[in-house]
Amino acid sequence: MFSIGEVSRRTGIKVPTVRYYEQMGLIAAPERSSGNQRRYDRNTLRRLEFIRHARELGFSLDDIRDLLRMSEGAGTPAHDDVHRIAGEHLRAVRARIERLKRLEAELTRISSCKAGTLSDCAVLETLSDHALCIGEH
C-alpha cells in the first residue's frame, strides 16, 4: 500500500491533484489508514498512470472518464468509441499544430526586427494590422 506522497512520486501527479481526481470521480476513494490517511493499491497506481498519460496527450478529464469506463466494461464492443475519441482528438491536435505553425512564422518575422527605435519597429504595427491576422475571421 502506498501513501499519497508515494503515489505522487511514482506517477508524477502532484498530491493535491490526486485528491482532486478522487473528488472528480476518476479514481475511487481509497482505503484509509487507522489515522485516516489514504492508502493506495497497485491498481489505482496503474489507473493514475493511465490518467497521467492521457492528460499529456491532451485528453480532457471527461474524455478520460469515458476511456476508463470503456476499458472497465471488459469485452463490450466499445472499440469504436475509443477510436472515435482518439480520432476526434487527433483532428483537433492537427488543427492546433497548423495554427501554431502560422503563429510561429508571424512571431519569427516580428521578433527578428533589428531597427533601433520603436517607431521603426514592426512588432507593434504588425500586432495592430488586421490584414495580417492568422486564422479565419
Binding residues for DNA (CB under 7 A) = 3-6, 8, 14-17, 19-20, 33-38, 55, 60-62
DSSP assigned state of 74: T
The reply to whether 53 sits near a copy of itself by the rule CB under 8 A is yes
Q: Under rule CB under 8 A, how many of the chain's residues touch a copy of itself?
A: 56
- Residue 15 or 123 having the CB closest to DNA: 15
Count Cα atoms within 13 angstroms, Cβ side, for 117.
2
User: Choosing among a copy of itself, DNA, none, which partner's interface includes residue 75 (Cβ < 5 to 8 Å by kind)?
Assistant: a copy of itself
CB of 33 to a copy of itself, least distance (A): 27
User: Choosing among a copy of itself, DNA, none, which partner's interface includes residue 25 (Cβ < 5 to 8 Å by kind)?
Assistant: none
Grid cell of 113 as nine digits: 526586427
Virtual torsion, Cα 52, 54, 56, 61, nearest 10 deg = -80
Identify the burial level of 136 via C-beta atoms within 10 angstroms of its C-beta, where 0-12 means exposed, 13-18 middle and 19 or more buried. exposed
